A and B are shown apart, each in its own frame.
Chain A
Amino acid sequence: MSCDQDKRTAANAKVCQELAEQMLSFAKRAGADGAEVLVRDGAELEVKIRMGETELIKEAGSRGLGLRVLKEDRAAVTYTSDFEPQAMRSFAEESVALCGLAEPEPLAALPDREEMARAIPELDLWDESVLSIDVADAMRWTQAGEKAALKFDPRVTNSEGATFGRGVGAVAFATSAGFSAAYRGSNVSFVVEPVCDDSEGKKRNGHHYTSNRFVAGLQPAEEVGIEAARRTVAKLGSRKVATCQVPAVFSPEAGRSLLGQFAGVISGGAVWRKSSYLAEREGTLVASPLVSIVDDPLLPRAPGSRPFDSEGLAVRPNVVVSEGILRTFLCDVYSARKLGRKSTASAGRGLGGGPHVTTSNFILRPGKSSAKEASNVAQGLYVTQLMGFGFNPVTGDFSQGAAGFWIENGEHAFPVSEVTISVNFDDLWKGVDAVADDLDTRSSVQCPTFRVARVTVAGT
């Protein structure tokens, strides 16, 4: 299968940059005092099979433009996918007119020219070979992966499927302060989701995935299938445990969810709004000395890397927590001004919204112990999965559903499900007493296995 449109325009950074600059000039002509234009162009292919049969083949390309305009300190944020020159011109005019409904906020002004990135670092985010993956290739991946999972163990009786996806995208950003740049990136991912039958009509599902900017960086399909099956079979016979207070060991995947929520409370936007329990805690101990966290946008080939931020600023690694001390909040231009400081160049934005603080590659630095050593407690809960929205960033109260394994003398004794873990976030991070060396680099929030001295587990 092929799609002519993809080949013609897929992730064409130059075309995006020209469109961004064109919109910028329309916005200036329409009377904007300041303007920022983001253009994204992408193409995707997704192939999903289930029990050997095709479920979905999806192939499409998409292009959109986000505009932020300022007039007399009033801001409007608008979105369009119509790139006809006449439509672009009237879109710019309507956007500027919309500013009249907002009220003046001088701090929302665009960053000054001298703050803008001058050089665009090459981060190796593009793999040309991603584009050459066709439906037949993707089909081979899915068939091989699901087959390996079903063959691994006779108790794997069903499947939610195997999905292969590839995406390419170009991003262009231009501002009236004189910044204009573009880059492109690629991504491929593959996931297998086996299902086992358990007692009382319950099913157990599990999954394993691989994801990379480069095709060569993917784990082979069969390995993904086998690991997915191993994880799923291990859940058979899951049960609750008695309510208790014990150490909890978080797998890199479960830990990633905690780390992602931590990113929310060190965000400048939450801090100036005082909607973070860490709002007044910069420079103080917020975690165990074993905890060091960095946000690094400059890692070559990494999933969250970006050569400049969404306000055009030069990016750099930001050490957020070093040995338990909160060194800095992450800020975009607006939250930095609200806090009376400089941006950490941590702005991100989607096509439909204005800039806000986002992380790039947000990493809990790996420690020295092995994952096995980190799990070595007399009794505790090894958590592989967290569920739900039970986190209040204002107070740090944390209470979420959990599944995993009960640990007896360092070994997984039996699988656990349908329990909750509750602990205040401040106690959780200060209670970290082991950080392992097994950093999981598959996503843009990266975590190794780590252990927390004590949490409340609610079960029977």
Chain B
Amino acid sequence: MKGEVNPETDFHFPATPLDAIDARIAEQLLSEALASGGEHADLYFEYRSSCDFAFEEGRVRSVGRAIVLGLGVRVVRGVASGYAYTEELSEARMLEAARTAGQIASHGGSPAPVALAAKSLPSFYPVRELSLSRSGEEKVALLRRVDAAARAYDPRIVRVEAGYAEGWSDVLVVSSDGTMARDRQPMVRLGVNAMAEDQGKRQSGRSGTAKRRGLDLFAEPGSTPEDHGREAARLAIAMLHAQEAPAGPMEVVLAAGESGILLHEAVGHGLEADFNRKQTSNYSGQMGKQVASSLCTVVDDATITGARGSINVDDEGSPGGRNVLIENGILVGYMQDRISARHFGTKPTGNGRRESFRQPPMPRMTNTLLLAGNDDPQDIIGSVARGVYAKRFSGGQVNISNGDFVFSLTESYLIEDGKLTAPLRGVNLIGNGPEVLRNVTMVGHDFLLSDGTWTCGKDGQSVPVGIGTPTVKIAQITVGGTKAA
């Protein structure tokens, strides 16, 4: 597979140790893995090269670099997985990992060997060049621009911290069903934290972006270092004199973009097939039923060009796809990995993901979106007599079993008589997934994909994800302020 060319960009990826892994070695490892009677085996080879720059007090404080290499071997029998990995790609170590994983099965026959065939993949993140191959000075220049823009925004900005990180993964997935898929997954990330100080009060604001792109991302309007520097500074200043938030159930308008965290928590996790296979999700047994307002159509879409959560192929060898989860309020699909798809008698949906070669895959989201509706965003805000407008978030969390979820606001405003008024101090919203989605009463036509640095955690594994939503009105959700009404 050496010297492979990406057809869309005519770009040669650098050589990696994965170039040495051919079908013969892979077949040998798969036979070893299945020797004890496993039903299915897969190999996940990973080479990851990354670099990061930390900038504070007006200078590059530290530069980091890491190269990670390894192989993870999984052997499946029924719902049971045996898993082992090695960081050394010598034949002896790889065979040992295959044997270790294979001992999940101790009896029974194995499937006949299948000839491996290289799989052609879509290209959802074509890059003209890897950012890593550009000079370090260019990246330092980006950080200086972020820093300068944040400081120039307002004299009350007293501190700026910025970080740039980049990397790419060379991934080779080989499966005993004959799949052999190799993918190169780039990522660049820019983040900034600005602190404002005024009359003894302090407040910080963050902005950032992460995408499967090259350095050209930072030349685009809305994604420039200046955009992010100013946005972090704006947020810090805006929240300096925020007031206490109300407590109790209220009407809430979610701004387009990163409010998509609501979808991720309220329905996303609950529709991962493993929880439904085990009947531990509150969406278990709800297929075909109305689980949300008919205004809601939710998709998990791995095919958005350059997006943080996009994947050409998942970490089990299934192609990344666009999967409708909820259509006009009706539950129509789960996100499947291989084990769960087999249980449900359906096909994997390309959602089998893992953090690295050290972990087995499981059903995970990619880019999870609420599709646009018909309402004008101004009408949505205008329809609220008293409520909260939620604009930016630091994160969320859900309890899969009962559907309770929280998400934490870093920028929000009181709505009074259809107008945004006072900024509110950091506040948490809590709701129940199905209840909140039934309470969606207006959906805007202004869909926006958040360009933020979202990372999803599940069972101790982190994967990059995307979120997006139009402006949405929720008739009632509990606002966790300090000011009892």
Contacts and interface: CB of A to CB of B under 8 A. Distances in A.
The answer to whether A and B interact is: yes
A243 B247 contact: yes
Contact of A460 (B204, B249, B281): B249
A105 B61 contact: yes
B478 A420 contact: yes
B280 A158 contact: yes
A4 interface: yes
A310 interface: no
Contacts of A397: 425-427
B247 A79 contact: no
A34 to B, nearest CB: 14
Interface stretch (B20-28, B345-353, B392-400): B392-400
A57 B82 contact: yes
A221 interface: no
A399 B140 CA distance: 37
Contacts of A395: 201-203, 425-426
B72 to A, nearest CB: 9
Interface stretch (B93-101, B146-154, B209-217, B373-381): B93-101
Interface string B54-82: 00100111111111111000000011111
Interface string A333-345: 0000000000000
B364 to A, nearest CB: 16
B426 A101 contact: no
B83 A422 contact: no
Contacts of B407: 388
Contacts of A353: 64
Contacts of B56: 273
B401 A203 contact: yes
Given A273-B161, A418-B432, A389 B401 contact: no
Contact of A101 (B60, B86, B404): B60
Interface string A138-150: 0000000000000
Given A403-B404, A422-B247, A60 B86 contact: yes
Contacts of B485: 243
Contacts of A25: none
A421 B482 CA distance: 8
Contacts, number: 272
A328 interface: no
B224 to A, nearest CB: 22
A247 interface: no
Given A59-B100, A78-B64, A388-B397, A3 B84 contact: yes
B428 A394 contact: no
Interface residues of A, number: 81
Interface magnitude class on chain B: 35 or more
B358 interface: yes
Interface string A107-135: 01000000000000000000000000001
Contacts of B479: 420, 458
A201 B276 CA distance: 12
A374 B282 CA distance: 35
A400 B478 CA distance: 12
Contacts of B395: 388-389
Contacts of B480: 390, 399-401, 419-422, 456, 458
A338 to B, nearest CB: 10
B178 interface: no
B401 A205 contact: yes
Given A55-B79, A417-B402, A94 B428 contact: no
B69 A418 contact: no
A237 to B, nearest CB: 11
Nearest to B102: A1
B309 interface: no
B78 A53 contact: yes
A240 interface: yes
A135 B80 CA distance: 14
Contacts of B69: 81-82
Given A101-B60, A458-B247, A55 B280 contact: no
B279 interface: yes
B84 A59 contact: yes
B156 interface: no
B421 interface: no
Contacts of A56: 80-83, 360
A201 B438 CA distance: 15
Contacts of A419: 430, 478, 480
B97 A60 contact: yes
Contacts of B140: 101
B83 A103 contact: no
Contacts of B107: none
Contact of A75 (B61, B158, B278, B281): B61
A294 interface: no
A63 B87 contact: yes
Nearest to A49: B80
Residue among B136, B195, B397, B482 with most chain A CB within 10 A: B482
Given A388-B395, A400-B428, A352 B64 contact: yes
Contacts of A399: 245, 408, 426-428, 480-482
Contact of A57 (B83, B136, B159, B425): B83
Nearest to A351: B66
Interface string A198-231: 1001111100000000000000000000000000
A420 B360 CA distance: 35
Contacts of B249: 460
Contacts of B404: 387, 401, 403, 417-418
B164 to A, nearest CB: 11
A314 to B, nearest CB: 25
B478 A459 contact: yes
Nearest to B479: A458
Contacts of B278: 50, 158, 160
Contacts of B202: 274-275, 394-395
Contact of B428 (A54, A98, A195, A401): A401
A81 B70 contact: yes
Given A243-B484, A273-B159, A399-B426, A101 B478 contact: no
Interface string B282-298: 10111000000000000
Nearest to A421: B480
Interface in A1-26: 1, 3-5
B104 interface: yes
Interface in A232-263: 238, 240, 243-245
A443 B86 CA distance: 29
B478 A390 contact: no
A392 interface: yes
A77 interface: yes
A397 B410 CA distance: 11
B85 interface: yes
A354 interface: yes
Interface in B237-258: 245, 247-249
Contact of A458 (B70, B103, B481): B481
A151 interface: no
A99 interface: yes
Nearest to A157: B279
B84 A58 contact: yes
A102 interface: yes
Given A56-B80, A243-B248, A401-B480, A77 B401 contact: no
A95 interface: yes
A458 B61 contact: no
Given A60-B97, A98-B65, A102-B60, A389 B408 contact: yes
A77 B63 contact: yes
Given A54-B104, A81-B68, A392-B204, 9 more contacts: A59-B84, A203-B282, A274-B158, A388-B395, A395-B426, A400-B428, A401-B406, A403-B399, A420-B429
19 contacts: A1-B103, A57-B80, A59-B84, A59-B100, A60-B83, A76-B62, A76-B64, A81-B68, A99-B63, A103-B60, A202-B282, A244-B484, A388-B395, A389-B396, A390-B428, A392-B204, A401-B428, A419-B478, A456-B482
Lowest 3 CB-CB distances: which A-B pairs, in order? A420-B480, A388-B406, A401-B406
